Amino acid sequence: MDFKIEVNKHDIEVNKGEFLLEALQRNGHKIPTLCHIKDHFPTGACRMCVVENTTNGKLITACSYPVEEGMKISTHSERVIESRKTIVELLLSNHPDDCLYCVRNKNCELQDLSEELHVTDRRIRGVKNDYHLDLSSASLVRDPAKCILCGRCVAVCEEVMGVACIDFVNRGSKSIIGTSFNKGLNVSSCINCGQCIMVCPTGALTEKNHFAEIQDAILDPETKVVVQYAPSISISLAEEFGMEAGKDMNGVMNAALRKIGFDFVFDTTFAADLTIMEESEELIQRIVGGGKLPMFTSCCPGWVKYAEEFTPDFLDNLSSCKSPQQMMGSVIKSYFAEKSDIKPEKIYSVSIMPCTAKKFEAQREEMTHKGITDVDAVLTTREFARFIKMYGIDIEHLEPESTDSPLGARSTAGKLFGATGGVMEAAIRTAYYKLTGKELIKFQVNALRGLKGRKEAQIEIGDLKVGVAVVNGIANAKVLLEEIRNGREDIHFIEVMACPGGCIGGGGQKIGADPSAIMARMQSLYTTDMNESLRVSHKNPEIIELYKDFLGEPCGHKSHELLHTHYKVREGVML
């Protein structure tokens, strides 16, 4: 620590050059914010974080004002509280009065600040915002009337995702946040990742809801409703019910889904194993046969759409494998339907995902074959929690149940898909076995683990030395792509996840989770991998049976028909 400043008549230690907000929070002072995002350059736009510099009587924004020697700060003086209260009242003056109907009711920062600052009278009246809902996206709903212009979504879209599909439009009192030419999200460069939802303090950005369609299907006696859930769902759902972060709810989830009325329950981790079988084979064929390298994973639909829009020169580098969600949907409506003597058109397939981009992926035209769609509807983790509550299920007192079979067994390698680096680690385990006939002595590839935005390793597989890279957050991927364009040739396989941390930090996860919760989810996946015996995809007995009875061999004719797809340059993209 470099020097001390006085805060509320007590000295605290601060670092030279740091912003006042950081110093105050580190020393236990709670300061409200709306526009601020940790580790992003501050704007001071909302002014909720004002404090009083009692040495000169000025109100200053703590998020953007650096500490100074001799400072004397009051964090909750009469002027400070009145200033913050007035800001909230001004925001409420033209905000819709529909809290009871808003998906963010009881989880809204504006609502919380109103309560905290005791805003109980309407002292300021204004003309209510009257903007139209943007329902054009397959994944997201944008309600400009609820936007408070904090700018968080703009910052995350540009700085973390590297997409910049939204920005401030117009000036002064006419300012709004919108897309280019203020058109719908569906014709913007949006990749549907949902990270804007994760930082939005109000209900201005939410996911598109499929509740009604799913309920109708469950109530239809002629329809068999099946559900699958992604590897990260079981270790992130608990937080929605106030339980500890990382708690594994796998068996309890199965029981809850059956109580809701789903006829069959599957774990998408089975399809993650299937993806590894296909993707590892494709990688081997490219390396041995002189195919296009480096090969990129294709299980993240946000990354795939980004590649189609922004990096069409790399489309041939993407694996042709569908994502685990789509593979599972395809196998359910072919192999499982045949085994169970159910007509595919009588199956309604639902997936529960940590990701809003999965809603977009499910409706892609490439995911419909002969009129049969792989997946019919998608729920996020948040929506699944609301579904459980809506059906009055006491999730804390359910007896755990198993998934249905066939398609019920899974390895822990597939479970690792939930965290950044997990797809790569699972693929290395199986590729190593396929090329050498031996298992890795130690299954963990520690160089690829953790929340770091970019990780690299050189893996020796027999006589081959395979360069691998893992990136999460599209902005990190952009840097690596540019290195490859500039001639870098030592990397052969790259995993890209659009969301920070991978699926455990997906746009459909709990809003407001702190970094420690994300790490707890990741650690839970690693613990599962350590504690179970089936740790490689190629030894999953039901995967072996699926190939033997139905698919033939990885990357074979039948597999390509059901489990692989293609990508195309999006219209309007500048080459």
Q: What is the pLDDT of residues 418-433, one digit of tens each?
A: 999 999 999 999 999 9
| Residue ranges matching CATH 3.40.50.1780 in the chain | 212-563
Q: How many residues does the chain have?
A: 575
What is the rounded average pLDDT for all residues in the chain?
A: 95
| CA separation for the pair 6, 9 (Å, rounded) | 6
| CA separation for the pair 238, 366 (Å, rounded) | 34
What is the pTM (predicted TM-score) of this model?
Answer: 0.95
Three-state DSSP at 466 gives: strand
| Residue ranges matching CATH 3.30.70.20 in the chain | 90-207
| Residue ranges matching CATH 3.10.20.740 in the chain | 3-76
| CA separation for the pair 156, 544 (Å, rounded) | 42
User: What pLDDT was estimated at residue 8?
Assistant: 96
| CA separation for the pair 121, 346 (Å, rounded) | 55
* CATH class for the region spanning 3-76: alpha beta
User: What pLDDT was estimated at residue 130?
Assistant: 80
pLDDT band at 302 (very low <50, low <70, confident <90, very high): very high
User: Which residues are the active-site residues?
Assistant: 279, 282, 299, 319, 358, 361, 366, 503
* Closest to 467 measured CA to CA, from 276, 294, 284, 313: 294
> Quick one: which H or E segment has residue 279?
helix 269-289
The DSSP code for 28 is T
Three-state DSSP at 348 gives: strand
Q: What is the pLDDT of residues 75-107, one digit of tens each?
A: 999 999 999 999 999 999 999 999 999 999 999
| CA separation for the pair 547, 552 (Å, rounded) | 5
How would DSSP label each residue in 215-272? HHHHH-TT-EEEEEE-TTTTTTGGGGGTPPTT---HHHHHHHHHHHT-SEEEETHHHH
For residue 218, pLDDT beyond 90: yes
Q: Please state whether beta strands 347-353 and 377-380 pair in parallel, antiparallel, or not at all (unpaired).
A: parallel
Q: Give CATH for domain 212-563.
A: 3.40.50.1780
For residue 330, pLDDT beyond 80: yes
Q: How far is CA 473 from the centre of its chain?
A: 10
| CA separation for the pair 333, 347 (Å, rounded) | 7
* Closest to 72 measured CA to CA, from 32, 18, 133, 20: 20
> What separation, in Å, do the N-terminal and C-terminal C-alpha atoms of the chain show?
50
Q: What is the pLDDT of residues 481-530, one digit of tens each?
A: 999 999 999 999 999 999 999 999 999 999 999 899 999 999 999 999 99
Q: Give CATH for domain 90-207.
A: 3.30.70.20
Question: Within the chain, how many helices (H) and strands (E) appear?
Answer: 19, 19
pLDDT band at 173 (very low <50, low <70, confident <90, very high): confident
Name 130's Cβ contacts closer than 8 Å, sequence gap at least 6: 145
For residue 216, pLDDT beyond 80: yes
